[in-house]
Structures are given as C-alpha cells and as structure tokens.
C-alpha cells in the first residue's frame, strides 16, 4: 500500500490556479522529492495533504484512508521554520513542542540523539548554527517516532556545510525505515537523497517516478559525458577529434568535455589516447544530471 496517494488535486486562489490536477503515489520506504521552481505549487501541495489548506477539488489518501486528526499526529512535519525561543535550550524548546503536539516528553532524548544534538541539549537555541537550528526543527518533527516525515525545503537558506548535514540526516532517517516526502527546488540535493521524484511546474505535474525513470523518460538513450585533460591540451583536442564515438567536444578551462554515444567509455578514451602517445592527467565520467533533465522538462527560471 502507498503511504500517500493524490488524485487530481487542484487549488485556486481566485483567478490564479496554484495546482492543476496533481496526481502521484508515494510508496512506503521512499524518499520522495516534490521538485519545482519557486512558485510552482510545492508548498501549496504539502499544505493540502497535511490539511493546512483545503483543495478546490481532488482528493488524497494516507495509507489508503482519508486524512484525520489522529492520522496526522503520526506524521512528522516541517512545513515552516518553527518559532523556537532563542534563550531556551534545545531540550526546553522541545518540551514546549511536545506539549503543543501532545507527545510524550520522554521521547525528547531519542529525538535529539537522532539529529546529533544530544550533547548540546542544554545550549541556548541562539548559540546554534543555522544547520543545527534546522536539525532541531527536524528533531521536533521526530517526536512520537512517526513513520512518515514531510519536509518543505529542509535545506533552504543553509550554507554548504549545513546542507550536507541535513542531507546526511535524511539519508540516516531513510536507512532507519522512515518514508520521507520533501519539497525542494535544489536539484542536486534531490538527486543525492531521493529515490522518487515528481516535477511540478506552474501547478502541473510534468514528470514523475523513480529518479532513474525521470532522468531517462521519453527521450533518447542517455549520452555519455567524459571530461579529460593532459599536459598538452591543444594536442589532446586534435587527437580526440578523431574518435568516432564523440558527437561533441567542448573546450573548458584546463580540460576537454567529450559527449558521445553509449559506446564511449572512459576505458576506450584512455586506451585511445595512450595509443596516440598522450598520458591523460584527468579522466572523469559524468552522468546526466537531474538538473539537465529538469531544464529539459521545465525550461529555466521560476514560476513567479
């Protein structure tokens, strides 16, 4: 049974249609990314399935049932930055959160350990880094040990170190058996942590499925992209131009980027160059990224 199923969800704000017939299914145990430009309807969608907003039409089911209060209590959510008290400790803030949610305060140590903040449980919230603050917000969502977690832009506003922290935490929660649904506009993060993805643009579902299916759906066989370098770059460019499997060659700072058919492998390129008397100093196989596929589907820019 799917954890979440939506069927034709639509939401209108007067003449503006924020969502238009959005349907998808989240399998149990998935890390499901709702991906789209800013203003695409991601937050509206999460607000509807968490019963914060009312849909104009359509329906959704949690574990095959219509949403109800007791069911939502078993779903951990991070839909906006919680209003933690700056001068209270992490533990005291979570005690307040537990009281609001009707959860047992005895669960607080487990939640803090899960986000690696137990050793800082007595520190004031104001002393935390941005990444630590976001981890505490996730700890709040973990109170009661829910099986399903719903996050809206969990890495928004964080620096690279903070993003890496949240990424690692999501991976750990997934490994612990949680089903995670997360909205994001950061393609690289979705590609690194998600098993499934739905791409939304201007309220419409443009693609959906496993990350692999979305990357390669409705298109030609994926091309191979290989980056190479050598001490004599002009000579390298002249030599690899003779490779029959290469369909495009781009000169980049300090390297060449080769695009070719699926038969173009790093081993073939390395052997070819070696036979021509060139020792490669750099050789990297690049896979087609979710970002490239996303831009193919939606074009560039936001939906504002």
Q: Compute mean pLDDT per 10 residues along the chain, 304 residues long, and list them.
A: 93 91 95 90 93 92 81 84 90 94 92 95 94 94 94 88 89 94 84 89 90 67 80 93 88 89 85 93 76 66 53
Rounded to the nearest 10 degrees, the angle between the axes of helix 90-101 and helix 130-142 is 30
Helices (H) and strands (E) in the chain, counts: 11, 13
Domain 224-286 in this protein, CATH class? alpha beta
Instruction: Give the pLDDT confidence score for residue 29 in this predicted structure.
Output: 94
* Residues facing 76 on adjacent strands: 149
Residue intervals of the chain classified under CATH 3.30.70.100 are 224-286
Identify which of 147, 168, 154 has the alpha carbon closest to the alpha carbon of residue 43.
154
Any idea which residue has 């700072």 for tokens? 253
Instruction: Give the pLDDT confidence score for residue 292 in this predicted structure.
Output: 64
Burial code of 97-124, b = ≥16 C-beta within 10 A, e = fewer?
A: bbeeeebeeeebeebbebbebbebbeeb
Host H or E run for residue 7: strand 2-13
Residue intervals of the chain classified under CATH 3.40.50.300 are 2-216
Instruction: Give the pLDDT confidence score for residue 213 in this predicted structure.
Output: 78
What size, in residues, is the chain?
304
Q: What pTM, to 2 d.p., does this model score?
A: 0.76
Going 62 to 63 to 66 to 72, the CA torsion angle's sign is negative
Which residues fall within 8 angstroms of residue 273, CB to CB, at 6 or more apart?
228, 230, 236, 239, 240, 279, 280
Domain 2-216 in this protein, CATH class? alpha beta
């Amino acid at each position: 049974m799917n954890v979440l199923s939506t069927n034709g969800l639509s939401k209108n704000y007067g003449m503006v249609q924020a969502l238009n017939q959005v349907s998808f299914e989240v399998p149990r145990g998935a890390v499901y990314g709702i991906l789209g430009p800013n203003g695409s309807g991601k937050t509206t969608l999460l607000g509807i399935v968490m019963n914060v907003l009312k849909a104009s039409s359509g329906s959704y089911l949690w574990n095959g049932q219509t949403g109800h209060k007791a069911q939502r209590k078993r779903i951990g959510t991070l839909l906006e930055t919680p209003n933690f008290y700056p001068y209270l400790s992490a533990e005291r803030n979570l005690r307040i959160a537990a009281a609001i949610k009707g959860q047992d305060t005895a669960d607080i140590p487990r939640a803090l350990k899960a986000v690696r903040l137990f050793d800082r449980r007595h520190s004031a919230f104001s002393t935390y880094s941005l990444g630590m603050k976001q981890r505490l917000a996730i700890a709040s969502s973990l109170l009661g040990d829910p099986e399903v977690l719903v996050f809206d832009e969990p890495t928004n506003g964080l620096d690279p170190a903070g993003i890496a922290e949240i990424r690692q935490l999501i991976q750990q929660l997934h490994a612990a058996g949680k089903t995670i649904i997360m909205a994001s506009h950061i393609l690289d993060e979705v590609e690194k942590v998600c098993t499934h993805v739905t791409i939304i643009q201007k309220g419409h579902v443009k693609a959906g499925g496993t990350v692999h299916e979305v990357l390669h759906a409705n298109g030609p066989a994926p091309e191979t992209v290989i980056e190479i370098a050598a001490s004599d770059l002009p000579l390298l460019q002249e030599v690899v131009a003779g490779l029959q499997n290469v369909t495009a060659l781009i000169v980049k700072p300090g390297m060449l980027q080769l695009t070719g058919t699926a038969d173009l492998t790093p081993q073939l390129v390395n052997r070819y160059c070696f036979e021509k008397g060139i020792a490669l100093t750099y050789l990297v196989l690049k896979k087609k990224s979710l970002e490239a596929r996303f831009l193919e589907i939606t074009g560039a820019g936001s939906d504002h």
